[in-house]
A and B are shown apart, each in its own frame.
Chain A
Amino acid sequence: MIKIKQYEQNDYTPVPGRLTLFLRKCLVWQIIQFVWINIKMTILILKSHH
């Protein structure tokens, strides 16, 4: 559990909720993300070669 300290560093920062934390390690969602990130990186690589 995060200990929020009022008026200090962590008071003004967004933190992920339960769904976000779950999706980060959800196998099905992460497989989709794996494919999607690889597509994005491939596009970047192709765009960058001159």
Chain B
Amino acid sequence: MARLVIMGGGVSGHTAASFARKWLGKEHEVVVVTPNSQWNWIPSNIFVGVGEMTKEDVTFPLAPVYKKVGIDYRQAKALSIHPEGNTNSSKGYITIEYTGQNKEGQAEELEYDYLINATGPKLNFDATPGLGNGKGQMGKHTVSVCTADHAIHASLELKALAEKMRAGEKKRFLIGTGHGTCTCQGAAFEYIFNVDHYLRQEGVRDKATITYITNEYELGDFGVGGMHIKAGGYITSGKVFAESLYVERGLEWIKRAHVHKVEADKVHYETLDGNMHEEAYDFAMLIPPFAGVGLTAVAKDGSDISSTLFAQNTMMKVDADYESGARGFENWSPNDWPSTLQNPTYGNIFAVGIAFAPPHFISKPMRSPNGTPINPTPPRTGMPSAMMGKAVAASICDMIKGIENKPTHTANMTEIGAACVASTGKGLLNGTAVSMTMYPIIPDYEKYEYGRDLNGTFGTIGLSGHWIKLLLHYGFIWKAKLKPGWTLIPE
């Protein structure tokens, strides 16, 4: 009898748990540890953020779903990993602290045979003074769409502002990244266009100045170094299409920016040329940078071995080449990236989704003359994150069943693609979205002239994209609820 413990119940962890439960016999345990009681379809949070969906539309309680399939669910946050056990036992365990189930604050040790770190990101608001409240939460000056609750708050602020605009007031909107090393530009991209769409529908768009602020070198970078697509007889950089959409909607943009301070009515930012600027706002949605959730690792003798398990960014080391970053952008290779997502020191520990430490950026690292890093960090979007969860679950199941004593499945971002749908406004007959695919996620300039397969990399804007966005919303919530046929919906 083996126990698989999965820390995190987001898209990656939930996928891993669901498949592991399906594939393992009842004699084996699958345990999910997550501080959240609800599962959140995060891609639709932007609709909540403009009042087009409710929190109930994008979340559902985890407990009944896990109970239905026999997953042991602990509503708790993981604090530390003890991969070598302690002086009493050699079995690895994690320490957890309950956040629900009428056990709030209670600590517990949970042994495992296999462990998956799917803890996702810590929303590091405090990395930018004024963006956070100094206690690890979002500050009071800006809004966010990172969680459903944040998005509700954003929609209420937006609605209140729209009222003032209807009364004739002009307002300034600033949406983008709140730090020079943010990822998740896609969410900011979606939100700014949905805000624009919302204000047009409210009849007050002429009262708004809407500006995008980003750490990207050029629009369309999205943390993956941008992409090229075939369009109109040309092979064109995504930058051209991204800028086109901003101009079409009357949006301005500030690029190559590191927001270093947020005040109640303005942000202070540095651009890549080293100059300092300010931008005033009435409404600001700024994505925070991500970090690992702060797990520590402890050896058998009680000494701290966090640096063995975790990289400097507090995300977990896997089978990546962590020496490759120092070789420089020009020498980076697809071979730097992990395949099995297995920790190199402890073979029964894996990390998936945002929780694994990338070997380096995908986009080119940039620093201002002041030494400030201003470049996007690598995104791990829903599709590859779910694929990682499934692949690692498959590997672990094979290891538990004795089929192999090493991982049997891979999910390497140099061999998988990503399909993304970025909404530019909701509406069954008047909405639009950008539908794009890229293959592979990590560009390979030795294999492909433009870094990616041009037949597998494309982008288009239209009403059909919005329909696909809705299809993904309903389809993936159905899948996550483990309803009939859920395995037929691909990751």
Contacts and interface: CB of A to CB of B under 8 A. Distances in A.
A13 B247 contact: yes
B387 A43 contact: no
Interface residues on A, range: 20 to 34
B430 A45 contact: no
Interface string A1-41: 01100000110011110000001110101110110011011
Contacts of B247: 2, 9-10, 13, 15
Which of A9, A33, A44, A49 is packed against the most chain B CB atoms within 10 Å? A44
Contacts of A50: 391, 409-412, 415-416
A14 B252 contact: no
B464 A34 contact: yes
Which of A16, A23, A44, A48 is packed against the most chain B CB atoms within 10 Å? A48
A25 B467 CA distance: 11
B5 interface: no
Nearest to A38: B468
B243 A13 contact: yes
B250 A15 contact: no
Contacts of A38: 468
A42 B437 CA distance: 10
Interface string B429-445: 11010010101000000
B490 A45 contact: yes
Interface residues of B, number: 38
Chain B interface, >50% SS class? mixed
A41 B419 contact: yes
Interface in B446-491: 456, 458, 460-465, 467-468, 490-491
Nearest to B435: A37
A35 to B, nearest CB: 8
Given A15-B247, A25-B429, A45 B468 contact: no
Contacts of A14: 240, 244
Contacts of A31: 464
A48 B416 contact: yes
A30 B464 contact: yes
B439 A30 contact: no
A45 B461 CA distance: 21
B346 interface: no
Contacts of B456: 40, 43-44, 47
Contacts of A30: 462-464, 467
B292 interface: no
B445 to A, nearest CB: 19
B432 to A, nearest CB: 6
B430 A48 contact: no
A47 B439 contact: yes
A40 B439 CA distance: 11
B430 A25 contact: yes
Interface string B398-437: 0000000000011110011101000000000110100101
B253 interface: yes
B301 interface: no
Contacts of A3: 250
B330 interface: no
Given A34-B464, A34-B468, A48 B244 contact: no
Interface of A: 2-3, 9-10, 13-16, 23-25, 27, 29-31, 33-34, 37-38, 40-45, 47-50
Given A42-B490, A48-B417, 16 more contacts: A13-B243, A25-B430, A25-B463, A27-B429, A29-B462, A30-B462, A31-B464, A34-B468, A37-B464, A41-B419, A44-B439, A48-B383, A50-B409, A50-B412, A50-B415, A50-B416
Interface of B: 240, 243-244, 246-248, 250, 252-253, 383, 387, 391, 409-412, 415-417, 419, 429-430, 432, 435, 437, 439, 456, 458, 460-465, 467-468, 490-491
20 contacts: A2-B250, A14-B240, A14-B244, A15-B248, A16-B244, A23-B462, A25-B462, A30-B463, A37-B435, A41-B437, A44-B417, A45-B491, A47-B439, A48-B383, A48-B417, A49-B490, A49-B491, A50-B391, A50-B411, A50-B415
